[in-house]
Structure 1
Amino acid sequence: MLTDWGFRPEQQRLMVIIATVVGVLAAGVGLVTVAGSIGEYAPERQASAAVLGPDTTLPEVFRGWKSPKLFDPLTDRAKDGKPLTEKEVFGQSELAVSKKLKLKLVDKRLDADCSAALWGESLLEQVSDAECTQAARGLYASSDGRYIGQYTLLNLKDGQSAADLVETLKTLYRGGWTRPLGSTKAAFPPGGHSEAGGYALGHYVGLVWLGRADGAEPTPKDDFVSLMLALRGAEKAVYRRVVTITGPAS
């Protein structure tokens, strides 16, 4: 056709090259348009944040860990049927971080209905399937007024359910999380920076949540590692249950 129109061979080759480039560019624009219409990927559970309203407080960082072999005796709740108590989990009013710094318990609560302590449709569905029977929460404020932390302990049916929950939270925690206890003595600042960790402990799951009281991101002077380790002092209750089953020699 191009020959019939009077174009020389070299002109024809040039026109083919130009048409090819234009076609590639057009396809690229179309792809960008389609991608833009799809939007950014966000887990379905992200929408559940609306449960707590526009000032929802969430950790910006989450890390999860599998259950150590130490807790193998607690893999099956049938062998650990005695319910948790507030005194058992939050019997200590203070948790030591260092010689000068302590975390002081300012509020605590034990719910038989786990949906009272958690939010997020998919998270609630998962803990329901895991037959969650208890959710213990303790709220802490540091003795220097600089930090706030919350420890949550969930009582699930078995170790596999606990492991699955921690694994799920690694990627979808921002669409379902633990509800912060309300206290005049301490509160997570809405929109502030906070960090969290999830630990499978046999058929239990421990959730550690920590932030600065002013909501700012931590600096090199803020030892979040030591603070989180101290906050896990509530897990002593789980260790004691291992000893109850295996005996002190273990």
Structure 2
Amino acid sequence: MDSDDPGRREGGPRRAPVSRSGRGRAAPRRTSGRSAAPRGAGQGRPGRRPRPAPRPEVPRPEVPYQDPAGYEAPYDDAPYQDQAYQDQAYQEPVYAEAPRETRRPAKGRKRPSGRGGSRTPRRPAASGGDPGSARRPRAALGSRAYFGAAGALGAVVIVGLGAVVLLRGGDDPVPTHAPAAVIGRPAGSGPSPTSYSSSPTSAAYAGIAARTSDAGPLTAGEAFPPSAATVSVPDSDAKLTLRTKRLDGDCAAAVWGATVAADLRRGGCTQAARGLYASTGRGERAYGMAVAVFNLAGSADADRFVGLLDRTRGGGFVRPPAATGPLGAFGQGFGMARGLAMGHFAVVSWAQRLDGGGDERDETLLSLLIEGGKAPAVLGRAARAPR
């Protein structure tokens, strides 16, 4: 059978067409771009034209399947990917701000280190290590620096005198029941000293720090024993004698000013013992001294009271007992006073020249303040208190 017979090649594989003019030679291969019929195709060509019909059977390329553009186009245009990408770009500034927040605490850490470095030299200054800051108050206060040194020396003397009282024993038995505090209405006006200083209590009076352990009220024998009838000033010819004395159950009678009386009420003051001394000399060298002892509830009340007198001076202070003669003008002119907290007792001494003269350089006045602080009643109780 002829190889060009269309009936024979219908189900067989495709063969390259053979030229009739020259059998055995392969005809030129068709290309997809050639539309013209091959050379020498006579009656065989009409049978070959239906051959391309199977081509649609081979899905090459399948238009419905291999149209990725049609399938992926909605995915590429999906707003979700665009938003996801844009979210990252939007979050970058937020994430970039995180280092800024970490840098701010870092700066904060440097500031305390800088401040700590500046505080280090300041702490010794606050504790009194700066000699310049310690000299300025002394220069401004004048005699108060002397009072500080004299007070320390006086504390040593007081402890020594307390031991003497302990050896001798008390003049009167000490009652064991404390009276109730009664504070009346104080005077609205009165005198005040020119200068004043105070000192808190010390360990020497720890045995009488609270009135609960020293409940007995003061007696006249304790407050004004025979040994306290005169006061002598060391290294001086001045000698003062007790002229007037009072022991009041109402502490308001011993002060003036509502603020001072209110503090005594707060401190539970139950008694006030006052004495007024005058020297035997005449003229400009005559001296006077007033001493007041307040019986308070505790050492904290005594500390507060002696400190308050410096702030209320001019608007409230201790009242000297009434007297006649030259002592009637006590409190007028230049005067110096000092308050001492001694356990639950507060002792205030006030010295001046009877002519109203003098100044802070008068050593006799300074010595009188020290001697006036040696209240025999307080020293005796401190010496007898258990330690």
- Normalised to the residue count of structure 1, the TM-score between the two structures is 0.72
Q: Which residue of 1 aligns with 2:222?
A: 88
Distance 2:332 2:275 in 1: 21
- 1:210-229 counterparts in 2 under 5 A? 210-218=351-359, 220=361, 222-229=363-370
- 1:126-205 counterparts in 2 under 5 A? 126-145=263-282, 146-185=286-325, 186-189=327-330, 191-205=332-346
Distance 1:219 1:202 in 2: 28
Larger Rg: 2
**8 Å contact kept, 2:223–2:376:** yes
Higher strand share: 1
CA-to-aligned-CA distance 1:213-237 (integer Å, 9 cap, x gap):
011133755521212222223x122
Q: Which residue of 2 aligns with 1:63?
A: 197
Residue identity opposite 1:95 in structure 2: V
**8 Å contact kept, 2:255–2:319:** yes
Q: Which residue of 2 aligns with 1:112?
A: 249
**Structure 2 residue matching 1:161: 3-state secondary structure:** helix
Offset, 1:104: 0.4
- Normalised to the residue count of structure 2, the TM-score between the two structures is 0.48
> What is the percentage of aligned positions where both structures have the same residue?
31
Offset, 1:191: 3.7
Of residues 188, 201, 207 in structure 2, which corresponds to 1:51? 188
Question: How many pairs does the alignment contain?
Answer: 195
When residues 141 and 127 of structure 1 are mapped into structure 2, their CA distance, relative to the original with a 3 A threshold, is: same
Q: Which piece of structure 1 moves more, 177-186 or 77-86?
A: 177-186
Offset, 1:242: 1.4
In the alignment, structure 1 segments of 5+ residues that lack a partner are: 1-48
**8 Å contact kept, 1:212–1:218:** no
CA-to-aligned-CA distance 1:149-187 (integer Å, 9 cap, x gap):
100000000111111112222222221111121112423
Q: Which residue of 2 aligns with 1:24?
A: none
Residue identity opposite 2:316 in structure 1: G
> What's the C-alpha RMSD, in Å, of the aligned pairs?
2.0
Q: Which residue of 2 aligns with 1:37?
A: none
Distance 2:362 2:250 in 1: 39
- 1:1-12 counterparts in 2 under 5 A? none
When residues 217 and 240 of structure 1 are mapped into structure 2, their CA distance, relative to the original with a 3 A threshold, is: same
CA-to-aligned-CA distance 1:136-159 (integer Å, 9 cap, x gap):
000000121411110000000011
Residue identity opposite 1:237 in structure 2: A
Q: Which piece of structure 1 moves more, 135-144 or 222-231?
A: 222-231
